[in-house]
A = this chain, B = another copy of it.
């Protein structure tokens, strides 16, 4: 692991380091959803939700599938759920 790789790893964990984004990830772990639905479920404005989704998309943790005027987001990678699940275990029975 060189300096850049440590930086990249820090950025990966940063994606999980906010309660709103974790709620989004938790919501998407139940299946793909469009932005408005996510926003409602996690209790954020659609703008804030969209900003978070952009970050998650840039980190390649979610992907968006456009259908009509809606965009359906889903988790992109098994590691995403794996990290979420292990962290959750640590919190709940740690």
Interface residue ranges of A1-29 to B (CB < 8 Å) = 1, 3, 5-14, 16-19, 21-23, 26
Q: How many residues of A contact B (CB 8 A)?
A: 33
Name the prevailing secondary structure of the A interface residues: helix
Q: Does A31 contact B (CB under 8 A)?
A: no
- Contact present for B82 and A94 (CB under 8 Å): no
Give 22 pairs: A residue, B residue, CB < 8 Å, sorted on A.
Answer: A1-B26, A5-B91, A6-B22, A6-B23, A7-B19, A9-B22, A9-B87, A9-B91, A10-B16, A10-B17, A10-B18, A12-B87, A12-B91, A13-B16, A13-B17, A16-B17, A77-B90, A79-B89, A79-B94, A83-B83, A83-B86, A83-B87
